[in-house]
């Protein structure tokens, strides 16, 4: 007669990056780590830093649904909403007795690069806030590289690195465990739009930088974890 096997306990790293596609189980793994941390001691706490912004009704419903689900799965975890100042929020909430979950890096980068009111901003304001700034064209414009109205394309400037550097520093200096969730979106076809290509490139660089900083990197697929790096 076969006996049911108990699931193997998850081991906590000082810092872990969890990557995966949509509905791959990456947030569930982060929640499982937080739940295990809370169960280890009555003196342990957990905080989730949520980076999503309610751009529309569907997004508002999605955020509300996630909040309700988290409350049931990890009842002891507090939630803090911070769409932009992620490094500052991480530094504020990280303590030796507190595990911090960041969910997610992809939406944080989206908020920096493509804010919800992007289309309403003047070019100079979008440059300061959005980091996909419009830059001056070189005199030698590529043939055919024009908009439909005859105006030349203006390639996006590189993503501002200051915020990312601050985040990497906050992860490295966090006194308590940190779990970061992000999307791995570079496995598909190359996007047609220039801005989207720039965002995919920026997210790929961000994932690499965070992965180099974290002790552990886990890739989720179909709810199953594949450990890519473990220096615990």
Q: Angle 214-207-53 (CA atoms, 0-180°, nearest 5)?
A: 105
Query: In this model, does residue 75 exceed pLDDT 60?
Result: yes
- The radius of gyration of the chain from alpha carbons, rounded to an integer in Å, stands at 20
Q: Is 93 a known active-site residue?
A: no
Torsion of CA 29, 33, 35, 38, to 10 degrees: -170
Higher pLDDT: 121 or 226? It is: 226
Q: pLDDT of 182-191, one tens digit each?
A: 999 878 777 7
Residue of 44, 66, 93, 131 marked active site: 66
Query: In this model, does residue 137 exceed pLDDT 90?
Result: no
Distance CA 57, CA 192 (A): 27
- Structure-token pair, residue 140: 């030698």
Q: What is the pLDDT of residue 10?
A: 76
Report CA-CA distances (Å) from 19 to 30, 36, 55, 163: 11, 20, 24, 20
Contact predicate 194/155, CB 8 Å: yes
* Mean pLDDT (whole number) for 153-163: 58
Alpha helices by DSSP H, 115-193: 123-130, 162-173
Query: In this model, does residue 138 exceed pLDDT 80?
Result: no
Task: For domain 15-135+151-230, give the CATH superfamily.
Answer: P-loop containing nucleotide triphosphate hydrolases (3.40.50.300)
Residue 133 binned pLDDT confidence (cut-offs 50, 70, 90):
very low
Query: In this model, does residue 31 exceed pLDDT 70?
Result: yes
Q: What is the pLDDT of residue 68?
A: 72
**140 CB-contact burial (10 Å; exposed 0-12 / middle 13-18 / buried 19+):** exposed
- Report the chain's mean pLDDT, rounded to a whole number: 81
Percent of all residues in the chain with a pLDDT value above 90, rounded to a whole number = 55
* Mean pLDDT (whole number) for 125-150: 39
- Structure-token pair, residue 212: 């180099």
Q: What is the pLDDT of residue 86?
A: 97
């Amino acid at each position: 007669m076969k006996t049911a096997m108990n699931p193997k306990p998850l081991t906590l790293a000082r810092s872990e990056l969890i990557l995966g596609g949509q509905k791959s189980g990456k947030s569930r793994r982060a929640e499982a780590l937080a739940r295990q941390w809370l169960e280890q001691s009555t003196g342990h706490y957990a905080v989730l830093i949520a980076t999503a912004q309610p751009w529309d009704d569907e997004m508002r419903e999605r955020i509300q649904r996630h909040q309700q689900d988290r409350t049931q799965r990890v009842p002891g975890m507090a939630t803090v909403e911070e769409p932009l100042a992620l490094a500052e929020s991480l530094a504020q909430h990280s303590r030796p007795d507190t595990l911090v979950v960041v969910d997610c890096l992809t939406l944080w980068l989206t908020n920096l690069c493509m804010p919800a009111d992007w289309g309403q901003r003047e070019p100079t304001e979008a440059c300061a806030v959005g980091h996909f700034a419009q830059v001056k064209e070189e005199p030698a414009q590529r043939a055919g590289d024009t908009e439909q109205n005859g105006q030349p394309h203006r390639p996006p400037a590189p993503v501002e690195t200051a915020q990312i550097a601050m985040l990497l520093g906050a992860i490295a200096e966090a006194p308590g465990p940190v779990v970061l969730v992000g999307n791995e979106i570079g496995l598909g076809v190359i996007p047609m739009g220039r801005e989207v290509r720039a965002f995919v490139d920026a997210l790929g660089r961000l994932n690499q930088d965070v992965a180099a900083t974290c002790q552990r990197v886990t890739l989720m697929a179909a709810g199953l974890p594949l450990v890519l790096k473990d220096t615990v």
